[in-house]
Amino acid sequence: MKITQRPFGKTKNGEDTTLYTITNNNGMKISVTDFGANIVSIIVPDREGDFADVVLGYENIQGYENNRVGFGSLIGRYANRIAGASFVLNGKVYKLQKNEGENTLHSGEPGYHKVMYETDIFEEEDMISVEFSRLSPDNEQGFPGNLDITVTYSLTEDNELIIEYHAVSDKDTMVNMTNHSYFNLSGHNSGNILDHKVWIKSNKFTPTNDKLIPTGELWDVEGTPMDFRTLKRIGDNIDDDYKPLIQAGGYDHNYVLDNNRDEISKVAELVDEVSGRVMEVFTDKPGLQFYTSNMLTSVENGKDGAVYGIRAGVCFETQHFPNACNTKNFPSSVLKAGQDYEYVTIYKFSTR
């Protein structure tokens, strides 16, 4: 295995950024940058041994400085939506940025995917890791507590991209970090993902109102277009006359994972039968946002000159449930002062 690094350009504030590329002995490569802890590329072989980049993204740092859609992004302090752009913790109301109507999406500014990180590199015989860290100061984005965060990206000889999240706060706070990579196993610039097949280990999902805020209910997937308990083509039901799909313009829903939160287990699978590429998702988080890039419209400065449009990629965002900070019957997203926030997500690539 090896790791290389090269300049990735200057930010508008004059900060020098670096692109780190890890290559394993199978030829798989991942590239990540210290600007925003963004995943820039994941290059894997198909069944014939031909390599392609399977995540949407940009050529240079200028693309990631804008990046309104969150390509490859570390999302925090709180991923997904918070109703009313506020929450109550220990009797105090905390007000956040309203950046999606009256609500908060992905915590507002400064987004975790648009700030610089300190970097450490760790090399082992069968794994190389890049660790990004920073202090999110008290009241950043409106959240309480100085939050020390690290996200570590590791590539193994088993073609696994391991993402480890860690955070500690000096005050009680809310934390819900995720990664927002858009996957297309045919290649990042190959068109839509409607022919990809998906399996999700989940019997229930969290329905929403028209603003995509969960109602607090848990609905069974049985007998609905939301059922991915057996491998199913994404395009089979995406345009069905079913209220949750109409509200979101496709799939953009939190699935209640049928997993043991004390251990990392397989919760989803993505299959592209044309290339033979397979991606398995493992995590110990309670939820998974399955998003078919319904709001992705005409991103014209993609890698290799790509123009990305609606449904050009699919996201598997492991998470706490959206708006859990305001929904008592959802698994808690409170991080107590001094306690460790620790979760792992693995994307494992293979062919069949």
SS3 135: strand
Short-list 129, 22, 9, CA closest to 64 = 9
Which tokens belong to 254?
């939190």
- Examine the residue annotation and report whether 166 is marked as an active-site residue of this protein: no
Cα separation, 201 vs 287, in Å, equals: 10
Q: What is the rounded CA–CA span in Å between residue 76 and residue 317?
A: 12
Task: Please state whether the peptide bond connecting residue 233 to the residue before it is cis, i.e. omega within 30 degrees of 0.
Answer: no
| Residue 348: closest CA among 158, 153, 197, 199 | 158
Instruction: Estimate to the nearest angstrom the gap between the alpha carbon of 294 and the chain centroid.
Output: 15
Three-class SS state of 83? helix
- Per residue in 71-101, is it b (16+ CB within 10 Å) or e — as a string? bbbbbbbbbbbbbebbbebeeeebebeeebe
> For the chain, how are helix, strand and coil distributed in percent, rounded to 5?
10, 45, 45
As a whole number of angstroms, the distance between CA 315 and CA 15 comes to: 29
Q: What is the DSSP letter of 208?
A: B
Catalytic residue, from 131, 253, 317, 320: name it.
317
**How far apart are alpha carbons 242 and 238 in whole angstroms?**
9
Choosing from 180, 188, 196, 320, which is the catalytic residue?
180
Instruction: Report d(CA 19, CA 124) in Å as an integer.
Output: 20
Q: CA-based angle 160:334:78, to the nearest 5?
A: 55
Task: Check the CA dihedral 37-264-332-336 and report its sign.
Answer: negative
Assess whether 125 carries a catalytic annotation.
Answer: no
Structure token pair of residue 103: 């609500």
Contact, 243 vs 168, CB < 8 A? no
Active-site amino acid positions: 180, 317
